[in-house]
Amino acid sequence: MAADNKQVWVETGYGIFSKEGPKGLKVEVIARNVNKSKSSFYHHFADMEIFTGLLLDHHLTRSKTIAEEEKKCRNIDPELIIVLVASKTDLLFNRQLRVHRTDTNFKKCLQKSDEIVSQGFISVLTKDLQLENNPKLAASLFALALENFYLQVTEETLNVEWLSAYFTNLKKTVSQFNVSQ
């Protein structure tokens, strides 16, 4: 019976959305993935709009969990990278929100999620890039890196090697910036 509870439906839909975006959210696809009938979906959720709202709520809950893990990190490589790889589905979900932010609900969720995770992430970034004396630069760098990150990240590239190279390049950029001042 565990497969029939709402959480299984939400987690399954969350995974589908993270890979395919809102176009992938089809009742028959989700039902097939949880091995239930379409009517079972409607038993739990009145319609797709309610279900999508629950996915967005789930994402914000996941963002809080990730933020707590990020706050524990002392460095980018390997600690933060380990957290990011473990949060692959969440990052891909966030990427889909970013891509589809013309939808008001997706945009609001994206903004809240970014707010939630930014503090811990910026803290690690500031320490690791030695920007303690310039927190505004660290925050600006985070905003740029975030956009750039989501432009590049895919299900295939979101791994330790790619993230390590990404952050190494980011460090090089910051060190060149510091030298030029």
| Long-range CB pairs of 116-119, under 8 A, 24+ apart, other chains included | 116/60, 116/63, 116/64, 116/67, 117/63, 117/66, 117/67, 117/70, 118/142, 119/67, 119/71
For the stretch 111-149, pLDDT in tens is 999 999 998 888 898 888 888 888 888 888 888 889 999
Three-state DSSP state, 36: coil
Q: How many domains does the chain fold into? A: 1
Q: Determine the Cα–Cα distance for residues 53 and 173; give it in Å rounded to an integer.
A: 39
Query: pLDDT tens across 39-67, in order?
Result: 999 999 999 999 999 999 999 999 999 99
Q: What is the mean pLDDT of residues 94-105?
A: 98
Segments in 45-133 forming alpha helices (H): 48-71, 81-86, 88-99, 104-128
Residue 119 has what pLDDT?
A: 86
Is 6 a residue whose pLDDT tops 80? yes
| Interval 100-109 mean pLDDT | 98
Percent of the chain residues past pLDDT 70, beyond the cut: 96
User: By residue range, what is the domain housing residue 176?
Assistant: 2-180
Give the single-character DSSP code of 8: H
CATH classification of the domain holding 41: 1.10.357.10
**Which of 145, 144, 123, 146 is CA-nearest to residue 135?**
123
pTM of the model: 0.92
Confidence of residue 1 (pLDDT cuts 50, 70, 90): very low
